[in-house]
C-alpha cells in the first residue's frame, strides 16, 4: 500500500500498479494508471461496470465437479497462507500491543501531555506539564511533571488517562501497572494509583506506593476493579504538596499466551485462528518512514521498554515500539508461524514514493546492509555471537530460526535505486546466510531473484477474473509471494463482495502453489477510531473486536489447506454469449498538452456516422473533466499540465464501431489518451500512447475506478509537434489499435469469470478430501461432485462449513460482530458421488473423511 500526499492510493494494474503520471510505476510487469485517491470505497457495485462485460444467458446445465485422487497434482505449499502485520490504523499501539494507556512515555507531541489530563479531587489544586529536565534515560526525551499546590479538604492532584479512545476494565480481572517516578526536593509523599469512572466519583480499584525518592525508581502494582466499565479512567495522584515527575506509565491486562509486554488476547487469538504459516513484519510502508530519521530501526525496539525511544509512524501517529523485533519473533514462534522480516534498503517513503523520497547514498548503504545481517544474527545466531547474546539477554537463548527476509517494501517504485541496492543486500545475506530465502520487490532487480513480492488492491471482479492468473506463469522464473492483496473497491468497510472476490482468487493461488509459495491479506487490523486504510481483516475498538467476511475467508482457507492438490474439472453452468464491449468515446491527456482534430466514429460496417467533429466551432458534444479545453484554429486543444484530463462524448450503448482522430503533442511529460467504451467517469477503456513517462503504449480498462492492463504493452515515444493518425476499432469483444495505419494492439477480452470457483486437496494427516467452492452469484447453484481414485472409501458423513450472506454489501459490525460467520454442520449421504446446493453469495468447505 502506498501513501501519497496525505491520501492513500489503491494499487491498480494488471499486476498491481500505482498512479504515476499517465502511466504507472509498473509493479512486476503490469501497468496501468491513475488509481483512485481514496483507499476506501463505500459505493455499491457499479451497474455500468457490470454491463460492460455482461452476458446474455441462453441455456443452463447443472454444475459438475469431477475429481480424481489417483492422479494427484502438485504439493500445496506448506507456507501458502500467512499473516502480514503493519502498524497502520493503530494496529499496534492501541491495538494488538496490549498497552492500555495512550502516550505512556509522554513522547507523542513536543511539550504536550497528549492523552493526559489534570486530575483533581476535593479542593486539590495544581498543574501538569511536560518537562525535558532530569530525564529517566537517553531514550526518553520528555516526562510529565505534576505540581501539587494545595490539598485542602482531602484534595488530590495528579494526572488521568482514558486509554486509546476508551479504557475497558472487567470486574475481578487483574491489571499490571508500572511506572517510573521521582520526587522533587519539595515533595515528600506517596502516590495513589486508581481506576475510576469517567466522572471520578466512583473508585473501582486503588493502590498506594511507598514514599517517592528523589531519584527515578520503578514502581509496580496490580489493580483489580470491582466493577465492569468500558469507559474507565486511570488516575495517578498525590495529596502532598510539591512536584513529582512520571515516565513510562503503563497498564497491561492479561496477555495472549501470558507473554510479558505482550499482546491483547482477543486480537492475537483471532490471528492465531487463521492458522498462519508465516508472519510478515513490521511493514509495509511502516519500515520506510516518511524520512530516513523516521524509518524502522529494529535495534531500538528490543530490550526494556523504557530504553526504546519510539518513533514517528508514517501512518500519522507515534509508535512506542513496545511491539518490537523480539516480540514479533516470539509471536511467530508462539503461533507456529515462520517469521518473515522486511528490512529497509535506505529509501524513505515521504509524501510521494515516486519522486520525493530520500535515500541513504549507495556508498553509505553498508549501515543498512549490516543492520539486516545483524537482524538475522539476533534471530538465529548462537548465544556466543553479539546479537545472539542480546536475544538470550532478552529471554530467548534458543534461535528463532528466521528463514525469510524481504529486501525493501514496494521499492520497485524506485527501480533505478532498487536495482543498485538489492544486489548488495542479496550478496551480503547469501554470503553469510546462504540458507535464508531473500525476497525481492521486483523480478528484475539486478541480481538473482528467488521470490518476488506482488501486491494487488482491486475490485471484486478483478480478483475473480484473475483466479487463473498463475495458471500460465513461467515456472522457470522466481517463486511468487503475494505479500499484500485485498478487494478495496466496492468493499464497503469489509463486505461480502470483497470476501467472495478474494476467495475466488485464493482458489487460483492454491491451485498454483508450486509457484505461489506464500500469500498474505492486508491490512490485518483497524482501530475504528483511526481508519487510515480500508477495508481490513479485523476491526476493533478498545473493548471489542470482530472479523470481516474477508477475515473468515482467510481463516477458512488457512484451516482447510490440503497437502496435495486434487486436479478438478468443472463443467456446466449457464451457456452465454458475451455482450460486445460498448460505450462512448473520448480523448485525454496526463501532464501533457495535446491538440486533437477530425474525430470521427462510424459503425463497423461504415454505413453510419455516430459522431463527427472537425472543431471548426464548438459543437457542444463534449463533456470535460479537468484541464483547459478550447476549440482553437480548427482543433480541440488541451493546454493544461494537469493529470487525468478527459473530454468524452457519445452513447453508452454504442458498440461495434471505429474511432479515428488526428493528434499532436505540443508539450508535457507523456502522450495521448484515446478513450472508448466509456460508461462513466469510473468505467471505461483507453489506449495510453506514450504513458509511463512517454515510454510505452498499452490498453487499459477501468472498472469502478480501478485500472488493469489488457494485453501486451509496447515501447512507444510520442514526439512533440508531430501529427499522428490514430484509429481504434471495437468489434464485439475485440479491440484493435492503429497508429499511422500500423496495428499496435489487438486484444480480445474474455467475459467475466464465475460464478463458481473451486480448489481441492488431500490432508495427509487426516486422510480428508478437502473441497472449497465459491459461489459469487445471487442464485443457489446445484453442484454434483464425483470423486474417483480414493485410497479408501469416503465416509457417509462429512463436515461442511459455509460462509454466506444475503447481499453483497452485507457486513459485520461492533453491534453485529458475527452477522456473517462460518457455520459448520454434518452432511449425510455423501460418499464418492453426491449433490449439494451451494447457497447464494457463499464460500463452502467440505471435509470428506475416509471410512474407518
Assign 148 to helix, strand or coil.
strand
Whether residue 816 is predicted with pLDDT greater than 90 in this model: the reply is yes
Question: Which run of H or E residues covers position 151?
Answer: strand 143-161
Please, how many CA atoms are within 13 Å of residue 323, restricted to the half-sphere of its CB?
A: 26
What pLDDT score does 19 carry?
Answer: 28
Domains within the chain, CATH numbers bracketed:
62-74+569-574+753-850 (2.60.40.1180), 116-254 (2.60.120.260), 582-748 (2.60.120)
Q: Where are the alpha helices (DSSP H) in 250-397?
A: 265-273, 325-335, 366-380, 386-393
Q: What value, to the nearest 5°, has the Cα angle with vertex 681 and ends 676 and 687? A: 30
Across the range 542-566, mean pLDDT stands at: 99
What pLDDT score does 11 carry?
Answer: 32
Q: Using N-to-C axis directions, what is the helix angle for 366-380 and 386-393, rounded to 10°?
A: 50
Determine which one of 86, 306, 390, 410 is catalytic. 410
Among the residue ranges 42-46, 146-150, 467-471, 650-654, the one predicted with the least confidence is 42-46
Please, how many CA atoms are within 13 Å of residue 581, restricted to the half-sphere of its CB?
A: 28
Please state, rounded to an integer, the average pLDDT across all residues of the chain. Answer: 92
What pLDDT score does 355 carry?
Answer: 56
531 closest CA partner among 71, 13, 38: 38
The whole-angstrom separation of Cα 13 and Cα 707 is 5
* Pairing, β 696-703 against β 706-715: antiparallel
What pLDDT score does 76 carry?
Answer: 99
481 closest CA partner among 3, 16, 10, 13: 16
- pLDDT higher at 11 or 614: 614
Calculate what percentage of the chain has a pLDDT beyond 90: 87
Whether residue 774 is predicted with pLDDT greater than 70 in this model: the reply is yes
Among the residue ranges 6-15, 159-168, 319-328, 411-420, the one predicted with the least confidence is 6-15
Residue 129 CB: number of other CB atoms within 10 A? Answer: 13
Across the range 449-459, mean pLDDT stands at: 95
The whole-angstrom separation of Cα 785 and Cα 27 is 39
The whole-angstrom separation of Cα 464 and Cα 44 is 17
The whole-angstrom separation of Cα 160 and Cα 782 is 60
The answer to whether 14 and 31 have CB atoms below 8 angstroms apart is yes
| pLDDT, tens digit, 9 for 90 and up, residues 298-307 | 999 999 999 9
Calculate what percentage of the chain has a pLDDT beyond 70: 92
Across the range 420-431, mean pLDDT stands at: 97
Q: Which residues of 573-600 are buried (b: 16+ CB within 10 A; e: fewer)?
A: bbeeeebbbbbbbbbbbbbbbbbbbbbb
What pLDDT score does 358 carry?
Answer: 80
What pLDDT score does 1 carry?
Answer: 59
The whole-angstrom separation of Cα 614 and Cα 626 is 22
Through-space distance between the first and last CA atoms of the chain, rounded to whole angstroms: 49
Whether residue 37 is predicted with pLDDT greater than 90 in this model: the reply is no
Tell me the residue length of the chain.
852
CA distances (Å), 28 to each of 18, 654, 693, in order?
12, 35, 17
What pLDDT score does 59 carry?
Answer: 57
Widest Cα–Cα separation across the chain = 99
Across the range 243-247, mean pLDDT stands at: 99
Clarify whether 816 is annotated catalytic.
no
pTM of the model as a whole: 0.88
What pLDDT score does 750 carry?
Answer: 87
All 3 cell numbers of residue 121?
A: 479531587
Banded pLDDT at 25 (limits 50, 70, 90): very low
Cis peptide before 523 (omega within 30 of 0): yes
| pLDDT, tens digit, 9 for 90 and up, residues 167-210 | 999 999 999 999 999 999 999 999 999 999 999 999 999 999 99
Banded pLDDT at 114 (limits 50, 70, 90): very high
Question: Which run of H or E residues covers position 557?
Answer: helix 549-559
Across the range 629-654, mean pLDDT stands at: 97
| pLDDT, tens digit, 9 for 90 and up, residues 478-514 | 999 999 999 999 999 999 999 999 999 999 999 999 9
What pLDDT score does 530 carry?
Answer: 98
What is the residue whose three cell numbers read 481506576?
Answer: 195
Across the range 682-688, mean pLDDT stands at: 97
What pLDDT score does 413 carry?
Answer: 84
The whole-angstrom separation of Cα 457 and Cα 59 is 34
Across the range 761-768, mean pLDDT stands at: 97
* Pairing, β 437-440 against β 451-458: parallel
Banded pLDDT at 134 (limits 50, 70, 90): very high
- pLDDT higher at 57 or 665: 665
| pLDDT, tens digit, 9 for 90 and up, residues 306-356 | 999 999 999 999 999 999 999 999 999 999 999 999 999 999 987 544 556
Strands (E), 502-547: 516-519, 525-527, 538-540, 545-547
The answer to whether 501 and 64 have CB atoms below 8 angstroms apart is no
| pLDDT, tens digit, 9 for 90 and up, residues 752-764 | 899 999 999 999 9
Whether residue 34 is predicted with pLDDT greater than 80 in this model: the reply is no
Amino acid at each position: 500500500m502506498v501513501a501519497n500526499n496525505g491520501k492513500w492510493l489503491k494499487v491498480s494494474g494488471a499486476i498491481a500498479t500505482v498512479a504515476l503520471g499517465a502511466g504507472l510505476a509498473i509493479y512486476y510487469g503490469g501497468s496501468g494508471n491513475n488509481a483512485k485517491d481514496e483507499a476506501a470505497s463505500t459505493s455499491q457495485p457499479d451497474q455500468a461496470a457490470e454491463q460492460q462485460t455482461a452476458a446474455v444467458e441462453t441455456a443452463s446445465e447443472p454444475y459438475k465437479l469431477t475429481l480424481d485422487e489417483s492422479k494427484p497434482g502438485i504439493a500445496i505449499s506448506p507456507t501458502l497462507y500467512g499473516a502480514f502485520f503493519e502498524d497502520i490504523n493503530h494496529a499496534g499501539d492501541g491495538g494488538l500491543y496490549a498497552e492500555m494507556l495512550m502516550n505512556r512515555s509522554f513522547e507523542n507531541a513536543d511539550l504536550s501531555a497528549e492523552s493526559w489530563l489534570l486530575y483533581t479531587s476535593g479542593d486539590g489544586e495544581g498543574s501538569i506539564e511536560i518537562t525535558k529536565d532530569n530525564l529517566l534515560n537517553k531514550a526518553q526525551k520528555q516526562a510529565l511533571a505534576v505540581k501539587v499546590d494545595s490539598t485542602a479538604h482531602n484534595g488530590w492532584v495528579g494526572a488521568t488517562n482514558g486509554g486509546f479512545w476508551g479504557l475497558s476494565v472487567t470486574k475481578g480481572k487483574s491489571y499490571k501497572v508500572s511506572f517510573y517516578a521521582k520526587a522533587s526536593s519539595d515533595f515528600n509523599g506517596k502516590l495513589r494509583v486508581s481506576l475510576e469512572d469517567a466522572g471520578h466519583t466512583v473508585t473501582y480499584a486503588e493502590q498506594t506506593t511507598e514514599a517517592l525518592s528523589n531519584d527515578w525508581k520503578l514502581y509496580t502494582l496490580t489493580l483489580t476493579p470491582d466493577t465492569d466499565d468500558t469507559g474507565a479512567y486511570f488516575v495517578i495522584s498525590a495529596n502532598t504538596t510539591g512536584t513529582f515527575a512520571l515516565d513510562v506509565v503503563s497498564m497491561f491486562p492479561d496477555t495472549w499466551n501470558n507473554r510479558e509486554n505482550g499482546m491483547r488476547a482477543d486480537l492475537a487469538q483471532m490471528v492465531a485462528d487463521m492458522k498462519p504459516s508465516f508472519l510478515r513484519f513490521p511493514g509495509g510502508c511502516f519500515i520506510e518512514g516518511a524520512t530516513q530519521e523516521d524509518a524502522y530501526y529494529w535495534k531500538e525496539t528490543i530490550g526494556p521498554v523504557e530504553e526504546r525511544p519510539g518513533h514517528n509512524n508514517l501512518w500519522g501517529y507515534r509508535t512506542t515500539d513496545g511491539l518490537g523485533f523480539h516480540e514479533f519473533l516470539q509471536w511467530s514462534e508462539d503461533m507456529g508461524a515462520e517469521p518473515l522480516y522486511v528490512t529497509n534498503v535506505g529509501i524513505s517513503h515521504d509524501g510521494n514514493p515516486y519522486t520525493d523520497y530520500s535515500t541513504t547514498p549507495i556508498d553509505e548503504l553498508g549501515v543498512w546492509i549490516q543492520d539486516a545481517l545483524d537482524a538475522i544474527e539476533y534471530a538465529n545466531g548462537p548465544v556466543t555471537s553479539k546479537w545472539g547474546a542480546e536475544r538470550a539477554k532478552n529471554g530467548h537463548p534458543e534461535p528463532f530460526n528466521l528463514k525469510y527476509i524481504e529486501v525493501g517494501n514496494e521499492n520497485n517504485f524506485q527501480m533505478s535505486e532498487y536495482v543498485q541496492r538489492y544486489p548488495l543486500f542479496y550478496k551480503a545475506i547469501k554470503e553469510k546466510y546462504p540458507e535464508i530465502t531473500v525476497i525481492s520487490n521486483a523480478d528484475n532487480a539486478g541480481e538473482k531473484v528467488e521470490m518476488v513480492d506482488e501486491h494487488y488492491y482491486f475490485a471484486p471482479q478483478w480478483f475473480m477474473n484473475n483466479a487463473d492468473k498463475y495458471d500460465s506463469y513461467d515456472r522457470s522464473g522466481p517463486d511468487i509471494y503475494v505479500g499484500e492483496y485485498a478487494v478495496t473497491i466496492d468493499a464497503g468497510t469489509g463486505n461480502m463482495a470483497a470476501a467472495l472476490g478474494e476467495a475466488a482468487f485464493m482458489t487460483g493461488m492454491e491451485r498454483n502453489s508450486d509457484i505461489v509459495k506464500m500469500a498474505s491479506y492486508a491490512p490485518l487490523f483497524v482501530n475504528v477510531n483511526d481508519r487510515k486504510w480500508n477495508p481490513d481483516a479485523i476491526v476493533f475498538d478498545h473493548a471489542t473486536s470482530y472479523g470481516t467476511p474477508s477475515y473468515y475467508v482467510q481463516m477458512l482457507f488457512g484451516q482447510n489447506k490440503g497437502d496435495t492438490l486434487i486436479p478438478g474439472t468443472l463443467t456446466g453452468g449457464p451457456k452465454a454469449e458475451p455482450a460486445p464491449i460498448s460505450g462512448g468515446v473520448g480523448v485525454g491527456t496526463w501532464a501533457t498538452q495535446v491538440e486533437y482534430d477530425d474525430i470521427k466514429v462510424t459503425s463497423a460496417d461504415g454505413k453510419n456516422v455516430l459522431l463527427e467533429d472537425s472543431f471548426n466551432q464548438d459543437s457542444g458534444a463534449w463533456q470535460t473533466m479537468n484541464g483547459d479545453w478550447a476549440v482553437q484554429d480548427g482543433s480541440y486543444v488541451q493546454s493544461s499540465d494537469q493529470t487525468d484530463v478527459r473530454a468524452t462524448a457519445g452513447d453508452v450503448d454504442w458498440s461495434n464501431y471505429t474511432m479515428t482522430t488526428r493528434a499532436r503533442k505540443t508539450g508535457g511529460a507523456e502522450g495521448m489518451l484515446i478513450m472508448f467504451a466509456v460508461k462513466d467517469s469510473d468505467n471505461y477503456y483507453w489506449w495510453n500512447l506514450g504513458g509511463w513517462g512517454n515510454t510505452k503504449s498499452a490498453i487499459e480498462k477501468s472498472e469502478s475506478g480501478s485500472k488493469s492492463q489488457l494485453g501486451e504493452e509496447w515501447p512507444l515515444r510520442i514526439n512533440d509537434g508531430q501529427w499522428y493518425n490514430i484509429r481504434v476499432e471495437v468489434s464485439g469483444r475485440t479491440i484493435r489499435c492503429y497508429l499511422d495505419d500500423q496495428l499496435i494492439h489487438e486484444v480480445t477480452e474474455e467475459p467475466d469469470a464465475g460464478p463458481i470457483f473451486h480448489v481441492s486437496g488431500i490432508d495427509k494427516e487426516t486422510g480428508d478430501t478437502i473441497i472449497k467452492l465459491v459461489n459469487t452469484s445471487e442464485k443457489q447453484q446445484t453442484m454434483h461432485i464425483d470423486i474417483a481414485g480414493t485410497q479408501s472409501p469416503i465416509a457417509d458423513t462429512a463436515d461442511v462449513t459455509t460462509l454466506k450472506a444475503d447481499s453483497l454489501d452485507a457486513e459485520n459490525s461492533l453491534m453485529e460482530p458475527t452477522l456473517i460467520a462460518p457455520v459448520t454442520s454434518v452432511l449425510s449421504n455423501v460418499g464418492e458421488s453426491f449433490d449439494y446446493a451451494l447457497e447464494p453469495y457463499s464460500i463452502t468447505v467440505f471435509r470428506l473423511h475416509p471410512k474407518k
